[in-house]
Amino acid sequence: MRKQVYIYRSFERFWHWTQAFLIFFLAATGFEVHGSFVFFGYQNAVEYHNVAAYAFIILIAFAIFWHFSTGEWKQYLPTFSNIKAQINFYLVGIFSNAPHPTKKTVLSKLNPLQRLVYFALKVLVIPVMVISGLLYMFYRYPQKGGMAGLNLDSVEPIALFHTAGAFALIAFIVVHLYLITTGHKPTTNLKAMITGYEEIEEDDTEKTAAPNEETKAETIEK
């Protein structure tokens, strides 16, 4: 039997959708600054990009606090077990209705590929964007045209890292949007991130319904 399980808590959903909006907005304004198209106008695009960047940094600070205070950070520890089965599923199995090789549970909601990719986003791509973005912002001000402490006499390497990170994030979004549709039904994953609830096999919820308040699964019989 399948049961509705509360899998994404309210802060998690707020963080996910705010982050999604900010990354879209930062990509749009960033590529306008880059010169890819004209929409807001260059000067506005720069200002909006700066405001959204500050909002993103504040959101990241809250998200870091949330991940550590709830213990949810452990969900993102990469694992290589079952990774081959997961890759085979996306390349072959998914087209012949094969069962999903990783069972989603409350205590382990990410499959091994998601763990790897989200971990790389958290420890690599997003820090690169924030650090290169802040360097970009303050590059001009301290020494007017150089950062003595960092031995940078041109903004070029900063721009390169920042733009490469932006392309990596966009590639991630494209794949992410496709994978959203590969749940039990095409809308299952999207609904789960909106309502917090997802339909999961009963065995899994029973195995993983944690005894403490923090991770307790709220289930509704279907």
| Residues binding ligand HEM (CB under 6 A) | 23, 26-27, 30-31, 33-34, 46, 49, 53, 56-57, 129-130, 133-134, 136-137, 159, 162-163, 166, 169
Residue 215 CB, shortest distance to ligand HEM, in Å, is 31
Edge-to-edge strand ranges of the sheet holding 197-201: 197-201, 2-6, 219-221
Q: Name the residue nearer to ligand HEM (CB basis): 61 or 92.
A: 61
Q: Name the residue nearer to ligand HEM (CB basis): 65 or 167.
A: 167
Residue 133 CB, shortest distance to ligand HEM, in Å, is 2
Residue 97 CB, shortest distance to ligand HEM, in Å, is 35
Q: Name the residue nearer to ligand HEM (CB basis): 80 or 141.
A: 141
Q: Name the residue nearer to ligand HEM (CB basis): 112 or 165.
A: 165
Residue 127 CB, shortest distance to ligand HEM, in Å, is 10
Q: Name the residue nearer to ligand HEM (CB basis): 113 or 130.
A: 130
Residue 193 CB, shortest distance to ligand HEM, in Å, is 20
